[in-house]
Amino acid sequence: MGKLTSMLGLLLTHPLEFRTLLHFYLYHETKRDITAQQEHPTSGWDRASMRRCWEFLDMTSRSFAAVIKELDGDLARTICMYYLILRGLDTIEDDMTIPDEKKQPILRQFHNLTVTPGWNFTENGPDEKDRNLLLEYDTVVEEVNRLPPQYKTVILDICQKMENGMADYAHKAATNGTVYLETIADYDLYCHYVAGLVGEGLTRIWSASGKEASFLCDQLELANSMGLLLQKTNIIRDFREDVEERRFFWPREIWAKYGFNEMKDMYEKGDIERATWIQSGMVLDALRHACDSLDYLRLLKNQSVFVFCAVPVSMAMATLSLCFMNPEMFQRNIKIRKAEAAQLIMRSTNTREVALIFREYARKIHHKAKPHDPNFLKISVMCCKIEQWCEQNFPSFVILGEKGPIYDSADKRTAVFRAEEKRAAQRLAADPRNAPLPQDLFPWELAAYVVGGMLIMLSLSALIVWVMLKFLPQA
């Protein structure tokens, strides 16, 4: 009833958004039903323990649950378990009611506890939202031990790396009271531990599954950038909530130079202009991972894996555009509208379309940039880099049609391309030898030419040897 009421309200106030959501609900079909009987061998839905894990996924993830379920084959179950393990680890790290002397050994041994039959954790505070996951963590353990070795090894390795990073930060917070990230390098390292490592693990799992190229697991810098783009976007958007809960993730290097002593001063002092300059500095820092994320998406060949990676980064770009130069972000948690999210989900199906999404939001950011902002020039350059990436990989004057490429006649580059085509045709007419070699020359025709050439050379060599033996005087 509540959903129907909200849709009716949307129809009256935002009819175009209503149309988008209606189109999404009617025509955007899920690609996979994990409850179907034919999916049981890979989804594990026929086991009570795995069904409970799928329920935990729905309870703990608002954004990733749907795309995880649509992954091909056993990837869906594997990534579900991967997510639940890291969510359990994060729940212990975030719980401020657990004393540090209790938290440290649990965090640093979490990768071992995750495969210890029957282990669960009952000491979370009553207000911890995901405490039920740890209360029944023995169910997760049971399913983790069923994973194929190639997946289980990757997940436990990433868990061990992440738990040590989290334990270090948790110990600093307990020892010093409040932990500020001082430099952008500290900020990058923190985001690497909590998100970059997630990207590394996913990339290694894609390769181990055989659904992506084996070399993909070596592209860890690009995978790290994907994770950092998502994590930094969340940190920017959740500013007010994090500050009120005394979690200070914005690096002092970015905000302290504008005269603020504490992060809460950005909304308490009323200096909106300088606060938005800091905000633009944070968005600038996040945008430096955009082109790497597009490079990563270009390497993916499995459609379900591509959509899993593309939808979050598309929404991250939309969120950065929403937050940029937006003073409301300092007062409350802001989010992109549901219709916009639905449109991004429907569009994020191929690299070209995602690149266009990045370009659209980069243009919106650049349009909102203000010349008196100290970051104005750097923001402009960063937005231009995204434009350059799109133009280099997907030239805008080439339009993909059903019968092949169509060239935009209004674009000057089309005239250049046509002139080059005309010159090539004239050279061919003047001398047919200028014709390019057929594209399908290799392997059979080219191999025939090579073998024929080798036979001629061998024959000539044999003839020369015969002549020398026949007619030259013997020693």
Tokens 């390497």, located at residue: 299
Q: Which residues contact 37 (CB under 8 A, 6 or more apart)?
A: none
Element containing residue 404 per DSSP (H, E): strand 404-407
Alpha-carbon distances of 364 from 125, 358, 373, rounded to whole Å: 43, 10, 16
Half-sphere exposure of 389 (CA within 13 A, CB side): 27
Q: Is 193 a catalytic residue?
A: no
Quote the tokens at residue 337. Answer: 């509208």
Q: Which residues partner with 400 through β-bridges?
A: 405
Q: Is 237 a catalytic residue?
A: yes
Say which amino acid occupies 68: I
Nearest-CA neighbor of 90 among 146, 13, 167? 167
Q: Which residues partner with 398 through β-bridges?
A: 407
The C-alpha torsion from 185 through 240 and 101 to 181, rounded to 10°, is 20
- Which residue is catalytic, options 82, 308, 358, 397? 308
* Backbone region of residue 272 per phi and psi (left: phi > 0; alpha: psi in -120 to 50; beta: other values): alpha
CA distance 69 to 308: 10
Burial label, 205 (beta-carbon count in 10 A; 0-12, 13-18, 19+): buried
- Which residue is catalytic, options 47, 52, 108, 247? 247
Q: Is 190 a catalytic residue?
A: yes
Q: Is 247 a catalytic residue?
A: yes
Nearest-CA neighbor of 156 among 246, 212, 89, 95? 89
- Which residue is catalytic, options 237, 240, 274, 359? 237
Alpha-carbon distances of 336 from 14, 38, 237, 274, 343, rounded to whole Å: 14, 37, 10, 24, 11
Element containing residue 184 per DSSP (H, E): helix 184-191
End-to-end CA, the chain: 110
CA distance 39 to 377: 52
- Which residue is catalytic, options 190, 193, 248, 296? 190
Active-site residues, by number, are 190, 237, 247, 308
